[in-house]
Chains A and B, each alone.
Chain A
Amino acid sequence: MEVKICLIGMGNVGTSFLKLLNEKRENIADKFNFTTKLIAIFEYDGALINDNGIDIVHLFSDSSNLRENQYWKSNVKAQDLISTLDIDVCIETTPTNPDTGEPALSHILEALHNKIDVISSNKAPFYLQYNTIKNLASETGCLVKYEATVASGVPALSIKNSLIGNTISRIRAILTGTNNYILSRMTAEGISFSVALKEAQELGYAETDPSLDIDGYDSAGKLVIVSNTLLGWSKSIEDVSIKGISDITPHALELAKLDGYVIKHLAIAENDKLVVEPRLVKRDSSLNVQGTLNVVELQTKFAGAIIILGKGAGGYEAGAAILNDLISITNERIKKNEK
């Protein structure tokens, strides 16, 4: 089987995905019995479109020539051209506005309207318009996967398939590596929030404007996605009670230690409520992870607490999650065709 794909957004995540796809191409063909053909790459100022397939190897041997390639078309938008492409899966990795979800939201909806399966690494469309996307996908018979939106390469969403016979009663998670790094450093060194933040920025863990992370908005968005997916809820980011970490003092962390606690920025889904706030966590808790790690704890009825832990950010981590989604979608399509 041949799967025709298009990629919208060739930044760090999109590039990492293509490199992984190229690297694992033979392995995928052998193990999963399908090949891929890259039909289009959309950028902010144009697109590379070739119905016969873009040569990925060539692309990386001379990537600076993307815009000098004979198939490059300037000033065209994905939104306008998706309907004209003969593709099976649209992979969406554009930089997106956290308040509107655009342009990713429009790309996703346009693809679904045209009966094209979608994979996205963009959180905002899913924490703002989860129901709209899911309903449209259901109407058009399309598959939508978005593993990379939460904890990147950590399979926080696809674990659902392994827990179908179980019941998840609560989710507690650390979903923003930046915040966990800052709190870990404050706890270990007794430094202030502002010093730890500056250190995180210098190391590239925090953005120049870190407010989305430290104010809890990033975690809240991810919490909406993970709870809607795993618990079957229909929440949006407006339903989350959010507190950030900037009010945490070294004194508070010292006090917590006295009683065997640490302070962690937790995202919690329980009793139909979504909360993101700093909480006291016992030092020996599985939620007491260090540095930029992400962790998701699922409290289940029949297996107790299930912990998933790993790197929650990075181009290759997200790229691997997208590749996983692509294999998963194709497997589902192959099974349906076999029926």
Chain B
Amino acid sequence: MIYLEVKLPDIPGSLIELIRPISQYGGNIYGILHHHDKKINNMIPVDIWFELSEELVQVSLENIKKDLINKNIQINKISVGSKNKVLTFIITGHVFDTDITDTIKRLDSKNIKVLDLHAKFTEVDEISSVMMKVEFPDVMKKFELINEIEKICKEKNLFLIRS
């Protein structure tokens, strides 16, 4: 899994400019997170997670970086993580009422990145279910990750079903 942190101008089409080289060089995008709340000087921090097949990683990553620099996209961080450190889980309950953005931010503050998110609900204030795929750092043990998720679930009275 490759984690890329960039800053994009808050104008239409800028996200396409970011995605195009990743896709062109064989990247499979898992998730994109816009930090609209951290916008400074009309620039928005954007996190993107994608996967490259092992044989493409070195060459493609260099090409992607070159293209982004040519497009004047500011790269803050790029890192290649372990493929094994991904976990899928489902939470059910009042997931939206209990502030899903807060849930994601709290995971993020522990370096747990939400790569993918799907939700099912009838009405926002009804019981809902959300499936998340998260990536967590190499140094973090799986039980530590589970503990972090369980802590939030317990506080928000959410039911956790994990892989």
Contacts and interface: CB of A to CB of B under 8 A. Distances in A.
Contacts of A243: 159
A176 to B, nearest CB: 17
A249 B163 contact: no
B127 A280 contact: no
A249 B93 CA distance: 10
B163 A279 contact: yes
A263 interface: yes
B154 to A, nearest CB: 12
A325 B19 CA distance: 65
Given A252-B161, A280-B89, A258 B118 contact: yes
Interface string A276-304: 01111110000000000000000000000
B162 interface: yes
Interface centre among B92, B128, B161 (most CB of A within 10 A): B161
A282 B88 CA distance: 11
B50 interface: no
Interface in A203-259: 243, 247-249, 251-252, 254-256, 258-259
B92 A259 contact: no
B133 A263 contact: no
Interface residues of B, number: 19
A72 interface: no
Contact of B133 (A251, A252, A259): A259
A261 interface: yes
A234 B135 CA distance: 36
A334 B2 CA distance: 65
Interface string B108-140: 000000000011110000011111010000000
B90 interface: yes
B161 A251 contact: no
A248 B129 CA distance: 9
Given A248-B161, A279-B161, A280-B162, A254 B120 contact: yes
27 contacts: A247-B92, A247-B159, A248-B92, A249-B92, A251-B92, A251-B128, A251-B129, A252-B90, A252-B92, A252-B120, A252-B129, A252-B131, A254-B120, A256-B90, A258-B118, A258-B131, A259-B88, A259-B133, A261-B163, A263-B90, A263-B161, A278-B161, A279-B161, A280-B88, A280-B90, A280-B161, A280-B162
B141 to A, nearest CB: 11
B120 A279 contact: no
Nearest to B90: A252
A282 B163 CA distance: 8
What 6 A-B pairs come out closest when comparing CB atoms? Answer: A251-B120, A251-B129, A280-B163, A255-B131, A252-B129, A247-B159
Given A251-B120, A252-B90, A280-B88, A259 B131 contact: yes
B89 to A, nearest CB: 7
Contacts of B128: 251
Contact of A249 (B88, B129, B133): B129
A258 B119 CA distance: 11
Contacts of A249: 92, 127, 129
